[in-house]
Amino acid sequence: MLRLPKLRKFLLILLFTLPLIIIGLFFSNFASASVIITNVEFIGQATLPTGLSFQNTELGGLSGITYDAKNNLYYAISDDRGEKAPARFYTLKIDLSKGKLTNKDVIPVGVTNLLNANNQPFAPTTTDTEGIALTNQDTIFVPSEGDTDKLINPFIQEFALASGKTISTLTIPDRYLPDPQKQKGIRNNLSFESLTITPNQKFLFTATENALIQDGTAAKPGVGSPCRILEYNLLTKQPEQEFLYQTQPVTPLFNPTGKFASGLPDLLALDNEGHFLSIERSFTGLGFTVFLFQVDLDDATNIRNLDSIAKGDISKIKPVKKKLLLDLRTLDVSLDNIEGLTWGAKLSDGQPSLILISDNNFNRLQQTQILAFKLKIESPLTRLLRRLRIPNIP
């Protein structure tokens, strides 16, 4: 029997197993659909004037947007509370075929009214629709912030894309509902603005724009707010997990009006692995501050069983991780009230695009602003080499 020295035997085993380990890692990384954004490049803007009339409605208040890749169309929800026209969403064409975005590249092509469970338009002032997310079943989900002063509950409902008819309604946990004594629940106009669905269509995520009353304070100059991300299982249509999202503190440099508002208006699921993009928007009395973050739920504490963050041990709660991708104040544009974001069409070089949209508040001093970006995504091979600390040589 041939007997090899122990060291030589170990080296031979290592020689044969190391390639298998590397190959396993390589293919596991390819199998993993996690998306990491490595660069965000601004490729232009388009604006629509306030007061623009389209199909007997005033086009404005666009607070959320979603992309229909199958038809290369975009659907943008209006937050008009039925005062100018019934609750509705618009269909837009946004042409990025030249790799840039200009005013002539955005064209409204349709408007669809949302209908309640009785197949009637929602009554005025009963909705505040702020987000929109498309499913692969030709339906959309839309959240409404409700109205705490009138004790109107927020909702998340599914509507038929073609007709606007109500299909289903998701259950909102009691801790979010308005309270007559205002000791708990959502804050007025700081509720469910965001909405996104994972690519595998299994989970829907929304978030409060600011903290629930029982969780902490609303944002104020120099102080962020502890928001909640709420996850729904779309197979069961039930809420499952909740996570703490801490917004960035923003301090105005100059605020002659004394007005201030800051929060989390939208999320975008990048993959099925708990990675998102988020935007945080602040009005600082004299202009807007907008941040684009990459968000990671990995290791974040599930706070579903905590009715109040403030009454628990906050030191034991791990919030979601955030990485700043872009401070939009560095762009050579005058920012408006950016509230929505979505994937856009793939560009000619194969890179994905990102679209942001603003809510003009139907204010003559504002406009509907659409910003376009090219995203660079880290490839699975680059990720593998980075994890193995091997230089990625072109």
Phi/psi of residue 30, nearest 5 degrees: -65, -35
Q: How far apart are CA 17 and CA 100, in angstroms?
A: 49
Q: Would you identify the CATH topology of the domain 33-388?
A: Tachylectin-2; Chain A (2.115.10)
Q: Which helix (H) or strand (E) holds 168?
A: strand 166-169
**Neighbouring-strand partners of residue 232:** 204, 239
Q: How far apart are CA 170 and CA 238, in angstroms?
A: 7
Q: How far apart are the first and last CA of the chain?
A: 48
Residue-averaged pLDDT of the chain: 91
Q: What is the pLDDT of residues 335-353, one digit of tens each?
A: 999 999 999 999 999 999 9
Q: How far apart are CA 80 and CA 318, in angstroms?
A: 36
Residue 312's pLDDT is 81
Tokens of 277: 């993009």
Flag whether pLDDT at 23 surpasses 60.
no
Flag whether pLDDT at 334 surpasses 90.
yes
Tokens of 285: 């009395």
Q: What is the pLDDT of residues 78-122, one digit of tens each?
A: 999 999 999 999 999 999 999 999 999 999 999 999 999 999 999
The predicted model scores a pTM of 0.89
Q: How far apart are CA 150 and CA 72, in angstroms?
A: 39
Residue 253's pLDDT is 82
